Amino acid sequence: MTVDLAMTNRFIERAEAKGLVDVAVATMDSPVGTLLLMATPRGLVRIAFDHENRDEVLGDVATRLSPRILDAPRRLDAVRRQLDRYFAGTLRDFDVPLDWSLTGEFARKVLRRTARIPYGSVASYADVAVGVGTPRGYRAVGNALGSNPIPVVVPCHRVVRTGGAIGGYGGGLPRKRWLLALETG
């Protein structure tokens, strides 16, 4: 069975025009593996690495946000362009709208603070804990970072242990090392 690309595009356009797509999905290849990108009308809501089970990621988003999910890559073109530029080393700061719907209040505070860590710099879990007003909450900070639904764009890879040890990363330590190396040249 062949799929008519023009017909598929018309279907997606009609669904979006009628407001039937709550979550648009696209994939992209990157130096750190295939990324699954998801956006709501409010902005980028989820990036999943290829080691995560796509069906589980989609199921989680369907349960927590909406089951009206459709492969609609054009809605994510701006995100993909910025990610391409970031991976090429020519973009330092992302400028895409973010939808924080998959984060709780504390995690959102941690992730917003993390998003302010400059490109090429790192902060410790303790630094971030102090920055969000919970000086002894470095473990809670680690948990919030570990559940970051928008890695790379919200640069949780820039958070390391006190003393400089790399710490953990939801995308795996090889990815964290690669991202840090990209940024520090």
Residue that the structure tokens 């330590």 belong to: 173
- Has 156 been annotated as catalytic? yes
Burial class (CB in 10 A: 0-12, 13-18, 19+), 154: buried
Q: Taking a C-beta distance cutoff of 8 angstroms, is the pair 43, 76 a contact?
A: no
Q: In whole angstroms, what is the distance from residue 109 CA to residue 171 CA?
A: 21
The number of beta carbons lying within 10 Å of the beta carbon of residue 111 is 24
Q: In whole angstroms, what is the distance from residue 30 CA to residue 90 CA?
A: 15
Length of the chain: 185
Q: Taking a C-beta distance cutoff of 8 angstroms, is the pair 41, 23 a contact?
A: no
Given the residues 61, 69, 153, 156, select the one marked as catalytic: 156
- DSSP tally for the chain: helices H, then strands E: 7, 6
**Residues labelled catalytic:** 156
